[in-house]
Chain A
Amino acid sequence: MKIIVAIKQVPARDSQLRIASSGKWIEDVDLSYEINEPDAYALEAGLQLKEKHGGEVIALCAGPARAAQTIREALAKGADRAIHIEEEDLAGFDPLSGARLLAAALQSESPDLVLTGLQSDDLGYGQTGVILAELLGLPHATIIMSVEASGGGIKVKRELENGWFQNVEMALPALLTIQSGISKLRYATLMGIKKAKTKEIRKVTAGDLGVTPSASITMERVYLPERTKQTQLFDGPPKEAAAKLVEKLKFEARVL
């Protein structure tokens, strides 16, 4: 099975975010970056399918030069090779033109399965996978908990709302977006890290792919949300803060 996993590099989850002076994005000078967590689960699902059925896992990532670090980590975990669409500034690409980049880069690979996370932790549109499926003319399913090969196709378990699930069958090639948390993520081994250094990373640019940035929606201004609720915050040493909180819960909220 030839599997492509689309991954994204995003600011680390516990980053303290500040708004950039332009008001168009966050201040990114002292941020650290990591793989988008949902994509880490997509990569894990891809590696497990390869272990079971054989084949190849190719990591596909659009991002600036710093994304090479995240790509190396995917190779160290077991991806066989990678494609890096290297663009310093992807801000001009909306989810559709961004997906066009991915589609153009993977078309010549003719994969059996394309996997990605269900959403990104930074922009959070939750659309790239489905847009990519439409651009590639592939059937798709989203928020997938497990994948089983059956006959010439696959049977997947889709998460619905309120604790419900549904199995869906489809032929290959297909695209799936993977739910986070469905398996335990592997760590890269020392051997894996060593091997990753010799694995191929094919670099292409948007220009090579013939894709130009376009935005049919524009992000006008980013800002910290205003609190709609008046939250009483207690600070000071933990002992004092705890005592103040309990007093409020007892005499004001009357829940104790």
Chain B
Amino acid sequence: MSILAILEQGEDGLHRISLETLAAAQQIAGQLNTTASAAVMGAVPDQLKDKQFEKVYAIEHELLRDYTPDAYSAALRQLVQKEAPSLVLFPHTYEVRDFLPKLATALGRVAVSDVVSHRVDNDALVLVRQLFQGKVNVDVRFASEAPNFASLQAGAYRADSAVSGSAPVESFTPQIAASEIRTKPLDRFRESQRAVDLGAAEIIVSVGRGIKEAENIPLVQQLADALGAELAASRPICDAGWLPMERQVGSSGQTVAPKMYLAVGISGAIQHLVGMKGSRTIVAINKDANAPIFEVADYGIVGDLFQVVPELIEAVKKAK
């Protein structure tokens, strides 16, 4: 029984979510009285060399330089078969979402995706994940023999709890043939330069689906004006073209942490929460008392935004 953490690195080393997964792997290994190892594609970054691990694998092959699900899945299947871990942990990134179900299927397993926390119950691991876009939680157990697979949601574990130490680095070269790779990735690109820097705003008023129509956006703009705030939005509003993409907050938009974040008609899907939950004070106005946005909010009003927002504009004007 052992744990293997597969971490993701970019040009600037391990991403934050990978540091969280690293710490989670150490923590769970401790609770299950077992050992943890880690692996990355390419050379092992310094951030990983000084952490406490049984072993760290550098998975090296020229066909792994550009990400493809076929090559990654083949390489990791071979590493899992060699290392025979009981549990393989991943950060829940777009890349992992793209290859992990394929890897697990190839080994006849189902990955538990997007885990938010865990507990150990009689030496068995119970993983907690979210259903219905964060409105309901579920406890999940593995019913299969090792190896089992899980991916961990951004922000679910604390990166700063990682235990320092040392780890022997071992190179692992999988066998991959170019003919196995059926997709051809081209260059990565960005659509446009960002003209609005939401990161610099002290107060952000953000609007979501609850606003119903493009014609209603000016109501939230008035609230933003009264507060001296920048206007932002959740993804569906930008997809619909009601506000420009550069004002989108969330995993596919900007990550912000202003003094105050006021969410109007935003239910708080995880993709949105990861982009704003570091804000100092979070205020939510939503008609659904069970909306996940209230789990991160400091203050909230449960009610119809079309009644609440006009009153709030008046109250803010009076207070200033």
- A residues at B contact (CB < 8 Å): 11, 14, 16-17, 19, 26, 94-96, 99, 121-127, 130-131, 133-135, 139-143, 159-171, 180-182, 215-225, 227-235, 238-239, 241-243, 245-250, 253, 255-256
Contacts and interface: CB of A to CB of B under 8 A. Distances in A.
20 contacts: A14-B288, A26-B132, A130-B98, A130-B100, A130-B105, A140-B69, A159-B94, A168-B184, A170-B184, A180-B239, A181-B239, A217-B110, A220-B140, A225-B134, A239-B311, A242-B311, A245-B315, A246-B315, A249-B260, A253-B281
Contacts of A225: 130, 134-137, 292, 295
Q: Is the interface of B mostly helix, strand, loop or mixed?
A: mixed
B178 interface: no
B272 interface: no
Contacts of B133: 121, 124
A19 B139 CA distance: 14
A246 B284 CA distance: 13
Contacts of B259: 255
Nearest 5 interchain pairs by C-beta:
A181-B239, A139-B182, A216-B144, A130-B101, A242-B311
A141 B95 CA distance: 10
- Most chain-A Cβ atoms within 10 A of its Cβ — which of B97, B194, B240, B292? B97
Interface residues of B, number: 90
A217 B302 contact: no
Contacts of B100: 127, 130
A226 B260 CA distance: 23
Contacts, number: 252
B94 A166 contact: no
B137 A224 contact: yes
Interface in B88-127: 93-95, 97-102, 104-106, 108-114, 126
Contacts of B167: none
Given A143-B94, A217-B110, A220-B126, A234 B190 contact: no
A84 B182 CA distance: 31
Nearest to A233: B300
Contact of B139 (A125, A142, A168, A220): A220
B297 A16 contact: no
Given A126-B114, A127-B111, A216-B110, A169 B299 contact: no
B150 to A, nearest CB: 9
Contact of B188 (A164, A229, A238, A255): A164
A24 to B, nearest CB: 9
The CB with the most chain A CB atoms within 10 A, among B98, B260, B318, is that of B98
Contacts of B311: 238-239, 241-243
Given A124-B133, A241-B301, A17 B290 contact: yes
B177 interface: no
Interface string B219-258: 0000000010000000110011000000000011100000
B296 A229 contact: yes
A255 B98 contact: no
